[in-house]
Amino acid sequence: MTNTEDNIVLTEAVFYTLLALHTPLHGYGIMQETKRMTDGRLVLSAGTLYGAISSMLEKGWIKALPEEEESRRKEYVITEQGRNIARTELIRLQELVNNGNKIINN
């Protein structure tokens, strides 16, 4: 891997937000999906989530969808760049688990 984004380590909140946004969701929907994916272990606060959303929008990892008139909720979706970031993080996490298993289970 050669680009500089390959060395980024994501927080758990950012990683799960990227996973959740493979389907367009608004903030509350992201919170609910993250809670569901982790069986209630990870509960994102509004401050954590909206800070992460702001950062990811700025980096181009997610984008806001046009707002619909009848809804005041802004929806977001992952971009191709965000998908690449999530894939790279998944590879990093798999390496951690594989190396941990080699040491701990031997």
* Residue 78: strand pairing partners: 62
Q: What are phi and psi for residue 61, nearest 5 degrees? A: -80, -25
pLDDT tens figures, 36-83:
999 999 999 999 999 999 999 999 999 999 987 666 789 999 999 999
Amino acid, res. 22: H
Is 4 contained in some domain? no
pTM: 0.87
CA-based nearest residue to 77, from 19, 35, 33, 28: 19
Name, in order, each residue with C-beta under 8 angstroms of 6's C-beta and a sequence gap of 6 or more.
88
User: Whole-number mean pLDDT of the chain?
Assistant: 92
Question: Could you tell me the residue range of the domain that residue 36 belongs to?
Answer: 9-104
Q: Is the pLDDT of residue 13 over 50?
A: yes
Looking up tokens 């060395």 gives 7
CATH of the domain at 86: 1.10.10.10
Number of domain units in the chain: 1
pLDDT tens figures, 72-95:
789 999 999 999 999 999 999 999
Is 43 contained in some domain? yes
pLDDT grade, residue 2 (50/70/90)?
Answer: very low
What does the pLDDT read at residue 72? 75
Is 21 contained in some domain? yes
Chain-centre distance of CA 52, in angstroms? 9
Looking up tokens 């009848």 gives 70
